[in-house]
Amino acid sequence: MNQLAEMRQAVVDTGRQMIGRGLVAGTWGNISMRSSSGEQIAITPSGRPYDQLTLEDIVVVDPAGQVLSGQRPSSELALHLAIYRARTDVRAIVHTHSLYATACAVAGKAIPASLEEMVQAVGGAVQVATYALPGTVELANHAVAALADRSAVLLANHGVAACGPSLAEALLVAELVEKAAHIHVVAEQLGGARELSDEDVALMRRFYLEHYRPGK
Protein backbone atom coordinates (compact mmCIF):
# COMPACT_ATOMS: atom_id res chain seq x y z
CA MET A 1 0.00 0.00 0.00
CA ASN A 2 1.46 3.40 -1.00
CA GLN A 3 1.51 6.40 1.33
CA LEU A 4 -1.60 8.01 -0.11
CA ALA A 5 -3.60 4.81 0.31
CA GLU A 6 -2.28 4.48 3.86
CA MET A 7 -3.34 8.07 4.60
CA ARG A 8 -6.83 7.46 3.25
CA GLN A 9 -7.12 4.28 5.29
CA ALA A 10 -5.98 6.11 8.43
CA VAL A 11 -8.62 8.81 7.89
CA VAL A 12 -11.35 6.18 7.39
CA ASP A 13 -10.27 4.26 10.51
CA THR A 14 -10.06 7.42 12.61
CA GLY A 15 -13.56 8.47 11.53
CA ARG A 16 -14.99 5.20 12.77
CA GLN A 17 -13.12 5.51 16.06
CA MET A 18 -14.21 9.13 16.47
CA ILE A 19 -17.90 8.37 16.12
CA GLY A 20 -17.57 5.14 18.12
CA ARG A 21 -16.11 7.08 21.04
CA GLY A 22 -18.86 9.67 21.01
CA LEU A 23 -16.70 12.58 19.88
CA VAL A 24 -19.03 13.50 17.02
CA ALA A 25 -22.58 12.81 15.88
CA GLY A 26 -23.92 12.41 12.37
CA THR A 27 -21.59 13.89 9.75
CA TRP A 28 -20.26 16.77 11.85
CA GLY A 29 -16.55 17.17 12.52
CA ASN A 30 -13.75 16.34 10.09
CA ILE A 31 -10.37 14.64 9.81
CA SER A 32 -7.24 15.20 7.75
CA MET A 33 -3.70 13.91 7.35
CA ARG A 34 -0.73 15.47 5.55
CA SER A 35 1.80 13.47 3.56
CA SER A 36 5.43 13.38 4.67
CA SER A 37 6.35 15.60 1.69
CA GLY A 38 3.61 18.07 2.59
CA GLU A 39 2.35 18.06 -1.00
CA GLN A 40 -0.85 16.06 -0.38
CA ILE A 41 -3.54 16.30 2.29
CA ALA A 42 -6.17 13.59 2.70
CA ILE A 43 -9.39 14.96 4.20
CA THR A 44 -12.90 13.72 4.87
CA PRO A 45 -15.55 14.62 2.28
CA SER A 46 -18.43 16.95 3.01
CA GLY A 47 -21.61 15.42 4.42
CA ARG A 48 -20.70 11.72 4.49
CA PRO A 49 -21.36 9.50 7.54
CA TYR A 50 -18.15 8.20 9.13
CA ASP A 51 -19.37 4.62 9.35
CA GLN A 52 -19.95 4.54 5.59
CA LEU A 53 -16.69 6.05 4.38
CA THR A 54 -14.50 4.14 1.95
CA LEU A 55 -10.96 4.89 0.81
CA GLU A 56 -12.33 6.29 -2.45
CA ASP A 57 -14.48 8.80 -0.54
CA ILE A 58 -11.46 10.50 1.04
CA VAL A 59 -10.60 13.68 -0.83
CA VAL A 60 -6.99 14.61 -1.60
CA VAL A 61 -6.00 18.27 -1.93
CA ASP A 62 -2.76 20.20 -2.33
CA PRO A 63 -1.53 22.77 0.24
CA ALA A 64 -3.50 25.49 -1.58
CA GLY A 65 -6.72 23.50 -1.28
CA GLN A 66 -6.98 22.44 -4.91
CA VAL A 67 -8.68 19.05 -5.26
CA LEU A 68 -6.33 16.41 -6.65
CA SER A 69 -8.66 13.45 -6.20
CA GLY A 70 -12.21 12.90 -5.01
CA GLN A 71 -15.29 15.08 -4.75
CA ARG A 72 -16.06 17.95 -2.35
CA PRO A 73 -13.79 18.21 0.72
CA SER A 74 -15.00 19.08 4.21
CA SER A 75 -16.44 22.57 4.64
CA GLU A 76 -13.70 23.17 7.24
CA LEU A 77 -10.88 22.71 4.73
CA ALA A 78 -9.67 26.27 5.41
CA LEU A 79 -9.19 25.42 9.10
CA HIS A 80 -7.04 22.40 8.31
CA LEU A 81 -4.95 24.22 5.71
CA ALA A 82 -4.33 27.16 8.04
CA ILE A 83 -3.08 24.90 10.83
CA TYR A 84 -0.79 23.01 8.46
CA ARG A 85 0.65 26.26 7.12
CA ALA A 86 1.32 27.56 10.63
CA ARG A 87 2.63 24.32 12.15
CA THR A 88 5.21 22.29 10.28
CA ASP A 89 5.22 19.77 13.15
CA VAL A 90 1.56 18.86 12.56
CA ARG A 91 0.68 16.03 10.20
CA ALA A 92 -2.85 15.23 11.36
CA ILE A 93 -5.94 17.09 12.59
CA VAL A 94 -9.25 15.94 14.03
CA HIS A 95 -12.14 18.34 14.56
CA THR A 96 -14.71 17.06 17.08
CA HIS A 97 -17.93 18.23 18.72
CA SER A 98 -17.57 16.33 21.99
CA LEU A 99 -20.04 17.26 24.73
CA TYR A 100 -18.08 18.84 27.58
CA ALA A 101 -15.36 20.46 25.48
CA THR A 102 -18.01 21.99 23.26
CA ALA A 103 -19.86 23.20 26.36
CA CYS A 104 -16.70 25.07 27.33
CA ALA A 105 -16.45 26.46 23.79
CA VAL A 106 -20.09 27.61 23.91
CA ALA A 107 -19.51 29.28 27.30
CA GLY A 108 -16.32 30.91 26.03
CA LYS A 109 -14.34 29.27 28.85
CA ALA A 110 -10.84 27.90 28.33
CA ILE A 111 -10.04 24.46 29.75
CA PRO A 112 -7.39 25.24 32.38
CA ALA A 113 -4.05 23.47 32.78
CA SER A 114 -5.25 21.42 35.73
CA LEU A 115 -5.21 17.81 34.49
CA GLU A 116 -1.71 16.33 34.21
CA GLU A 117 -2.33 14.01 31.28
CA MET A 118 -3.99 16.75 29.25
CA VAL A 119 -1.18 19.27 29.72
CA GLN A 120 1.36 16.63 28.74
CA ALA A 121 -0.39 15.96 25.44
CA VAL A 122 -1.63 19.50 24.75
CA GLY A 123 1.14 21.64 26.23
CA GLY A 124 -1.02 23.78 28.51
CA ALA A 125 -4.52 25.18 28.78
CA VAL A 126 -6.89 24.84 25.82
CA GLN A 127 -7.80 28.36 24.76
CA VAL A 128 -10.98 29.57 23.05
CA ALA A 129 -10.58 31.07 19.58
CA THR A 130 -12.51 34.24 18.78
CA TYR A 131 -15.84 33.41 17.18
CA ALA A 132 -16.28 33.34 13.42
CA LEU A 133 -18.75 31.53 11.17
CA PRO A 134 -17.89 27.89 10.40
CA GLY A 135 -15.99 27.22 7.22
CA THR A 136 -14.58 30.73 6.96
CA VAL A 137 -11.02 31.97 6.65
CA GLU A 138 -11.71 34.12 9.71
CA LEU A 139 -12.43 31.02 11.79
CA ALA A 140 -9.24 29.40 10.52
CA ASN A 141 -7.13 32.45 11.38
CA HIS A 142 -8.66 32.81 14.85
CA ALA A 143 -8.07 29.11 15.52
CA VAL A 144 -4.39 29.30 14.54
CA ALA A 145 -3.87 32.32 16.79
CA ALA A 146 -5.48 30.64 19.82
CA LEU A 147 -3.78 27.29 19.11
CA ALA A 148 -0.29 28.84 19.17
CA ASP A 149 2.24 26.04 19.92
CA ARG A 150 -0.22 23.72 21.65
CA SER A 151 -2.07 20.67 20.33
CA ALA A 152 -5.70 21.70 20.78
CA VAL A 153 -7.96 24.73 20.56
CA LEU A 154 -11.63 25.37 21.34
CA LEU A 155 -13.66 26.89 18.51
CA ALA A 156 -16.19 29.28 20.06
CA ASN A 157 -19.81 28.00 19.84
CA HIS A 158 -18.55 25.12 17.72
CA GLY A 159 -16.21 22.41 18.98
CA VAL A 160 -12.56 21.35 19.22
CA ALA A 161 -9.62 21.08 16.85
CA ALA A 162 -6.87 18.69 17.97
CA CYS A 163 -3.63 18.03 16.13
CA GLY A 164 -0.41 16.06 16.25
CA PRO A 165 2.27 14.26 14.26
CA SER A 166 -0.12 11.35 13.61
CA LEU A 167 -3.84 10.70 13.54
CA ALA A 168 -3.47 8.40 16.53
CA GLU A 169 -2.04 11.23 18.60
CA ALA A 170 -4.50 13.85 17.32
CA LEU A 171 -7.38 11.55 18.31
CA LEU A 172 -5.77 10.94 21.71
CA VAL A 173 -5.49 14.69 22.25
CA ALA A 174 -9.17 15.14 21.39
CA GLU A 175 -10.12 12.46 23.91
CA LEU A 176 -7.94 13.97 26.65
CA VAL A 177 -9.39 17.42 26.00
CA GLU A 178 -12.90 16.02 26.39
CA LYS A 179 -11.92 14.22 29.59
CA ALA A 180 -10.31 17.39 30.98
CA ALA A 181 -13.36 19.46 30.06
CA HIS A 182 -15.64 17.01 31.86
CA ILE A 183 -13.43 17.05 34.96
CA HIS A 184 -13.26 20.86 34.82
CA VAL A 185 -17.05 21.20 34.74
CA VAL A 186 -17.37 18.87 37.74
CA ALA A 187 -14.51 20.58 39.60
CA GLU A 188 -16.20 23.95 39.18
CA GLN A 189 -19.17 22.56 41.10
CA LEU A 190 -16.78 21.52 43.89
CA GLY A 191 -15.32 24.97 44.28
CA GLY A 192 -13.07 25.33 41.25
CA ALA A 193 -10.12 23.62 39.59
CA ARG A 194 -6.59 24.15 40.92
CA GLU A 195 -4.29 24.94 38.04
CA LEU A 196 -0.80 23.54 37.67
CA SER A 197 2.13 25.95 37.67
CA ASP A 198 3.70 27.02 34.38
CA GLU A 199 6.94 25.35 35.49
CA ASP A 200 5.25 22.00 36.14
CA VAL A 201 3.36 22.19 32.85
CA ALA A 202 6.62 22.82 30.98
CA LEU A 203 8.36 19.93 32.74
CA MET A 204 5.54 17.48 32.03
CA ARG A 205 5.25 18.58 28.42
CA ARG A 206 8.98 18.10 27.86
CA PHE A 207 8.89 14.65 29.45
CA TYR A 208 5.95 13.68 27.25
CA LEU A 209 7.64 14.85 24.06
CA GLU A 210 10.97 13.19 24.88
CA HIS A 211 9.87 9.96 26.52
CA TYR A 212 6.13 9.28 26.58
CA ARG A 213 4.66 10.39 23.26
CA PRO A 214 3.17 7.53 21.21
CA GLY A 215 5.91 6.06 19.06
CA LYS A 216 8.69 6.97 21.50
Instruction: List, for residues 120-168, the tens digit of each pLDDT value.
Output: 999 999 999 999 999 999 999 999 999 999 999 999 999 999 999 999 9
* Greater model confidence, 213 or 199: 199
Q: C-alpha distances in angstroms, 51 versus 11, 26, 27, 98? A: 12, 10, 10, 17
Position 25 scores a pLDDT of: 84
Among residues 61, 65, 80, 100, the alpha carbon closest in space to that of 147 is found at 80
Contact 124, 201 (CB under 8 A): yes
Please tell me the predicted confidence (pLDDT) of residue 151: 98
Q: What is the pLDDT of residues 8-64, one digit of tens each?
A: 999 999 999 999 999 998 889 999 999 999 999 999 999 899 999 999 999 999 999
pTM of the predicted structure, to 2 decimals: 0.95
169 annotated active-site: no
Q: In 3-state terms, what secondary structure has residue 211? A: helix
Give the separation between CA 97 and CA 65, rounded to whole angstroms. Answer: 24
The active-site residue, picked from 76, 169, 175, 178, is 76
Does the pLDDT at position 216 exceed 70? Answer: no
Q: Encode 2-25: b = buried (16+ Cβ within 10 Å), e = exposed.
A: eebeebbbbbbebbebbbeeebbe
114 pLDDT more than 60: yes
pLDDT for the residue numbered 130: 98
pLDDT of residue 214: 72
180-206 pLDDT per residue, tens:
999 999 999 999 999 999 999 999 999
